[in-house]
Amino acid sequence: MRRTLGLALAAILVGLAFYLSRYWVFRLWDREGLLGLEVLRPQGGLVGRWLRGTDAAPFELVLWGCGVFLILTILQAIWNRIFPG
């Protein structure tokens, strides 16, 4: 059960990280955004949108990769504390 739950959580997190990147190509909802929230636009690429107009914009992919690595590392540490061994 623990392994199935972990795999499902990992799949959800990978999908979310993929949606935040510029490589999301799916259009699963309307132009108005998910649940009417314009922030959650259908074409993804949210990191690039958040960085637009800043000096960090050229480093979008590097920042996305570092952020995903950091989040997954923290979640792995939490998972290991909840389910030791």
Q: Is the pLDDT of residue 21 over 90?
A: no
Q: What is the pLDDT of residue 41?
A: 79
SS (H, E, C) the chain: CHHHHHHHHHHHHHHHHHHHCCCCCCCCCCCCCHHHCCCCCCCCCHHHHHHCCCCCHHHHHHHHHHHHHHHHHHHHHHHHHHCCC
Nearest to 28 by CA among 48, 8, 19, 49: 19
Is residue 66 predicted with pLDDT exceeding 90? yes
Lowest mean per-residue pLDDT among 10-19, 28-37, 51-60, 66-75 = 28-37
For residue 38, what pLDDT is reported?
Answer: 76
